Structures are given as C-alpha cells and as structure tokens.
Amino acid sequence: MEGLGDARFRIALHADGRGGFTEACKEFIRIPGTLPRGAVAEKIVKNLCARYDADELGNVPLGAQIMGSDAELLTLAAKHLGEDKNAPRVDLNCGCPASVVTGKGAGSSLLKDPKFVYDAVRAVARGVEGTNAIVTMKLRTGYDDSGLLRENLCAARDAGARFISLHARTRAQGYSGRANWDDIAFAKEVLGDDVPIIGNGDVTSPLRCAELLRVSNADGVGIGRGAVQDPLIFRRIAATVKRDVNGVWRVTEDAFEREFEVDFVVTFLRTFAEEVFKTENKLNSKRGSGVQERELEAFKVGKLKSIVKYLFAGNEALKPHIQEVMRIDPLKMSAEDALDTIERLVVREWVTPQHVLVDAFSARAQYQK
C-alpha cells in the first residue's frame, strides 16, 4: 500500500524474516501522465524507480507496481524495473480511485474502456520482454459500476497479465459498504484456469479469508488494511486456514498464545519506529540545520500515530486508548517516549483482533489532536 504500507511497514511486518506473506507485496511507483521523450524521460523514470529494491525483504521477493496512462512511459518504466532492478513482477495499478490520478486517465479510470486496459497492460508486457519479470494487474470491479468487468478481465488476459488482483469494489464505492466477493467468483468464472485471481477486499481475519475463498474460489487473497490492524494476520491465516477433507476452506482453532502475539506486535512497532527514525535522521543530517528538531520529532510521532489509528481501532481492548495516543504532543513528548507509551498499552491490553474494518480514509481524519 502506498504511504502507510511503505517500505518501513513492510520491513516491520517481516521483522523476524517470517512475515507470513508471499510475493504479493509491492512498491508503488507513480509515472506522470506526460513527460518529454528520450533521455529526459529515461532519467526521470529511473529516479522515480530508484527507491525500489527487489531484495528489500531478503527472503521474500518484492514486486513493483506502476501507475500511469502513457503507454510509452509505462513500457520505459517496466523495462527499467525488469532489466536493471531485477523486479520479479511489474504490476499495473488499475484500481486507484483518487481523483488526482483518475483525472489524468490513470488508476481506476483505465477501467472505463477495456481498450485502455489492453493498451496499458500490453505496454508493461512490452517493457518486461526478455527480462525475468512477469506482468500482473490490480483492478477494481469497475469505474462507476461493474458492467465492464468481464471485458476488462479479458483485455488484461489477452494483453499478457499473468495474474490479476481484484479489489471487489468499484471506484465509485471508494471504501464504503462491503466488498462484493461475488464479483471475484465472477472473475474466476470468466478466466477459468487461464489467469489466477487474487481476491481482495475486507479480509481482516482467518474467518473472513476462508469465507472469501469459499465464496469466490479465488486462487489467493490480498490484504491491505487488515495487515495494519493485525500485523499477525498473514501468519494467522497460514496457520489456521485449511481445506477440509471435502476441499472446503475452514478455520482451525486460533493458533497463537497471547505472549507470542504481544512479542510480535512489539517487535513490529519497534522495527517500524527504527525505520522511521533512521530515514529521518539521514534526511536531517543531509539537510544540515534545514530541518528543525521539532519538525522532525512531529514527523516521527505522526508516523507512529498513523499506525496506531489502525492497530488500535481493530482491537477492542486498545480502541478506547486511541485518543490518548492522538493527544501526544511532540513538543512535550519525544518520539522515543511516545513509542514507549504505545508499547506499554499493547503489552497491557492486546487481545486477538476481531473482524473490525477501519475505513482507511475516514480513519485519517477521524481523530483530532
């Protein structure tokens, strides 16, 4: 996920080298709609892709995701990622609902016409030709409605997508209501065994993962917000979601002791903080006195708060403490002490999260300082 789910988050989730997820994780790169051609474009695209590191997590390969609408630039970016950066896959973003993106013809607005989807996937496929990278696509079920879902899926398949992740909401839905997993089942019917489908939307627990798999017959599951609410979710699923003797997806007993969960979450928080503090210290020493100590401290505390909004909101016992953390004033409390406060709350209150789903975008604005 862009922003919240950036490298710091991924590294924290994988702190003990066993985050539980597979290659579905990816770094997001936004390619501008228009650029001068030739060497200038190449330089800009290289700079945009500079922070992508296929080996970021060591034993789990990291995919790259690009978002754009200009076929030539998509090809250029995909080629650079496959050839020079050794990306295992380049995923095309056809899901982003933000108007600043759709206004430029990228993200979910490609879903308005299957030809846009075909051309964009084809452009990425051209770019990775002759490299080890595969082309994949992430989409929503449609722009205003899901009327073109079949055509968009077929366009992606025909253009070379090797697997497809489907967030079962339209762009118009944003994050409202429930994800419609029947649309994932529909996608499976349309594509059969040609192109695997990763079902996505509202999976926050092993139970909901098993439900999605049962309803849709998807080949895999993608998780966004649930991973911030419950950093153990991938392991929980790997340990407890299994097919029964009849081949039906079921959940076995919850596998983890509270002590193990608390240790994991504390390590997650510490690693996340370490990554945030490290990056920002580097930035500070580069800029010399340009960045005020106070601003830096506010930045670090802000990052911790952004995690807490999700981590605590999905947890019945921690939820009542969100305001307490949001009220932390970086002028009065250092980021180190803020981390300490958050950790103590986790150690004292942590319970296994239930099926709560935090709305990504309202959660950002909901809690005031």
Ligand X SMILES: Cc1cc2nc3c(=O)[nH]c(=O)nc-3n(C[C@H](O)[C@H](O)[C@H](O)COP(=O)(O)O)c2cc1C
Q: Which is nearer to ligand X, 284 or 306 (CB)?
A: 306
Which residue is at the shortest CB distance from ligand X?
Answer: 224
225/358 Cα distance (integer angstroms): 7
List 57, 120, 223, 328, residue binding ligand X (CB under 6 A): 223
Whole-angstrom CA distances from 346 to 26, 259, 325, 327, 329 are 28, 11, 12, 17, 20
Using a 10 angstrom Cβ sphere, with 0-12 exposed, 13-18 middle and 19 or more buried, the burial of residue 247 is: exposed
Q: Which is nearer to ligand X, 109 or 297 (CB)?
A: 109
Q: Please identify which residue in the block is written with the tokens 């079920």.
A: 141
**Residue 65: which H helix or E strand, with range?**
strand 63-67
List 4, 78, 92, 128, residue binding ligand X (CB under 6 A): 4
CB of 139 to ligand X, least distance (A): 9
Residue 306 has a CB neighbour count (10 Å cut-off) of 17
- Does 201 contact ligand X by CB under 6 A? yes
Q: Which is nearer to ligand X, 123 or 221 (CB)?
A: 221
Record the tokens describing residue 203, joined without a space.
Answer: 């999976």
- Does 109 contact ligand X by CB under 6 A? no
The single residue of 49, 94, 96, 209 carrying the catalytic annotation is 96
Binding mask 64-103 for ligand X (x = CB under 6 A): -x---------------------------x-x--------
- Does 28 contact ligand X by CB under 6 A? yes
Stretch near ligand X under the rule CB under 6 A, chosen from 122-130, 183-191, 220-228, 335-343: 220-228
The number of CA neighbours under 13 Å toward the Cβ of 168 is: 26
272/266 Cα distance (integer angstroms): 10
Residues that bind ligand X (CB under 6 A): 1-5, 28, 65, 93, 95, 138, 167, 200-203, 223-226, 360
